Chains A and B, each alone.
Chain A
Amino acid sequence: MEALRQRARELLAAGTVQAVLGYAAGSEPDRARPCFVRTAAEADGLIWNEHCRQNLATYLQKPEVRALGRLALVARRSTLRALLQLAAENQLADGRVVALFVADDGAVTELPTLAAIEELVARLPRGLSDADRQELDRIAALPLGERQAYWAGEFARCIKCYACRAACPLCYCARCITEANQPQWIPVSSDPLGNLEWNIARAMHLAGRCVDCGSCSDACPEGIRLDLLNHVLAEEARTQFGAEPGYSVRKDYALASFKPDDKQEYIR
């Protein structure tokens, strides 16, 4: 934690960045909150623990945050992947942010360029946590009807507050499809059809783009495991199209690119 604070102080003191986006202590010991450190003295408030989960790359699209100037971003693996995916989608210019990657042992690696991020991400372990993998396998093993009932039960609790969208670093559309009404693609009601269409539309839009940060389900006030849904589609996009979002700034978006030799086995 002290290494992180020290790096933040140095970056601010040298004028390399105007603000460090990190985490500060939250309301309760089991929470952390995003914070915006503007002076070296404020860096004392930075913390790092398992509760620092909201993907801070989400803030890069926010005008008030952009206005702060050049930024350093306290990052875990999924934050780095979000930065690369945003760059791949032309949403992030090289050098606009300095990533401060914090390893499990608290060591801080400063990554000033996208190339440096690519190099580090390539070396990090991949995959889900054991608990997430088990839960995903449990759901996947359910017979179709039960699996359908599971997700219907989850979506029944959705109140369409759009916290999932707001917390997602890759949900940056200036105008979300759920707000389009000419034509109205997604029913506005949080009824079974409206909730199904909203959550499926969002998951499909993230297929091959999601970087598995879990901020969507962390944000959901009803605790719907949207991260698992997204992960299923991520695996689908990977096996079918070789999509590996967040590992390179040069990746094509699987659902928006065409190759003559694309696999077509999914058409049945």
Chain B
Amino acid sequence: MTEQRILSRQNLGPLFERLAADGRRILAPVRHGDRVGFERVTRPDEVALDYVQTRTSAKSAVFPPYEPLLQFALQGKDVQVAEPAPDAAPTVLFGVHPCDAASFATLEAVFTWDTPDLPFESKRANLTIIGLSCTQGDAYCFCTSVGGGPGDPRGSDILLTPIGATHFLAEILTERGQAVARLAGELLEPHRGNGKDAALAQIPPRFDARQLGAKLPALFNHPAAWQEQALRCLGCGACAFVCPTCSCFDITDERDRYHGVRLRCWDSCGLALFTLHASGHNPRTKQSERWRQRVMHKFAYQPERLGVLGCVGCGRCSRACPVDMNLAQHAQQLAETAV
């Protein structure tokens, strides 16, 4: 159902106005000094269209860092339970790169594989993704190693690709994209046959994620594959918290004597507390076991169990890591390690 149109940069303003008039809020990358992050915007001049990568990902739009699941109150001997309505306002995620757009398939696979996760699904159902192809990457980008690419349309409802300095090629990819196209109306002009590939960044593949995933189980007990790499790992949660596909959370009740709230908050397999049992036993005693879990989960367990890779090659973890634990570099080393 892909349709190709042309969107002038001048028409972004009117497009934003029509999205707002339709009751949709817009989340887009905004630059503050050397930092770019997704924020709510109303005008296109607030949006950074030339960014390489945001510090944190766009997953907060559907999986926020903290979220109340229910509230409870003690009244006499009864417990009253209330489920807060999820904050699921119709939202357009504008200007995410193809890696981030692709990450939503992984999140969906996790959050919909069994019991419907209403806080996630309600937000996902109201989210439209207008992606932005990459015309530049950096040394940390590795989307092409994990099945993606700088112009990959997967995950986007509409994908914009810069053509020159004044226009975008707009690929309308899904029904949600069609709905935005209907709102845009004449703002989307007929396509005159400009090429897409010429504008795209060059991201050379470094390894093959599918082959790596098939090989990883045999490397599980490899004496050298994990321990040397993980010696410098500090055991924080930065990699997981900036990751667009990491979806682990912890559930905590916070309460006083009569009232409480059940929260879910992001968690990370890099933290020692992640697997600590109430008994005091911790099945992952070493940081190398935690790092191994992170790699195995992304490249072996999720593909095997859910049919999706747990990595989209955005490179955020490697940029954020205080001690330069470069995931792509380690994945490449693992791919080259003899079993």
Contacts and interface: CB of A to CB of B under 8 A. Distances in A.
B198 to A, nearest CB: 27
A90 interface: no
B65 interface: yes
Contact of B252 (A32, A33, A59, A188): A188
B263 interface: yes
B87 to A, nearest CB: 13
Given A34-B323, A159-B65, A188-B263, A221 B231 contact: no
Interface in B252-298: 252, 254, 263, 265-266, 268, 271, 273, 285-288
A215 interface: yes
Contacts of A190: 65-66, 265-266
Interface in A107-131: none
A64 B287 contact: yes
Contacts of B266: 159-160, 190
Given A64-B288, A221-B241, A222-B56, A166 B66 contact: no
Interface stretch (B107-115, B207-215, B232-240, B302-310): B232-240
Interface string A12-29: 000000000000001110
B72 interface: no
B39 to A, nearest CB: 11
Given A31-B324, A189-B66, A166 B263 contact: no
A110 to B, nearest CB: 23
B318 interface: yes
A32 B287 CA distance: 20
A188 B324 contact: no
Nearest to B287: A64
Contacts of B231: 36, 64-65
Interface residues of B, number: 42
B320 interface: yes
Contact of A181 (B55, B232, B252, B287): B252
B263 to A, nearest CB: 6
Nearest to A176: B273
B324 A26 contact: yes
B268 A32 contact: no
B65 A215 contact: no
A27 B329 contact: yes
A161 B239 CA distance: 8
Contacts of A223: 34-35, 55
In this complex, the member of A28, A36, A162, A187 whose beta carbon has the largest number of chain B beta carbons within 10 angstroms is A162
A47 interface: no
B55 A222 contact: yes
A28 B139 contact: yes
Interface string B213-236: 000000000000001101110111
Given A32-B324, A221-B320, A161 B66 contact: no
A68 to B, nearest CB: 8
A186 to B, nearest CB: 10
A221 B234 contact: no
A62 interface: yes
A215 B323 CA distance: 10
A264 interface: no
A257 to B, nearest CB: 30
B84 interface: no
A163 interface: yes
A184 B273 CA distance: 16
A184 B237 contact: no
Given A31-B324, A188-B263, A161 B234 contact: no
Contacts of A62: 235, 287
Interface string A181-195: 100100111110010
Given A35-B232, A221-B55, 13 more contacts: A32-B324, A34-B323, A63-B286, A64-B287, A161-B242, A162-B236, A166-B234, A166-B322, A188-B252, A189-B66, A189-B265, A221-B242, A222-B55
20 contacts: A34-B232, A54-B323, A62-B235, A159-B65, A160-B265, A162-B236, A162-B271, A166-B235, A166-B236, A184-B254, A189-B65, A189-B254, A191-B66, A194-B66, A221-B238, A221-B320, A222-B55, A223-B34, A223-B35, A223-B55
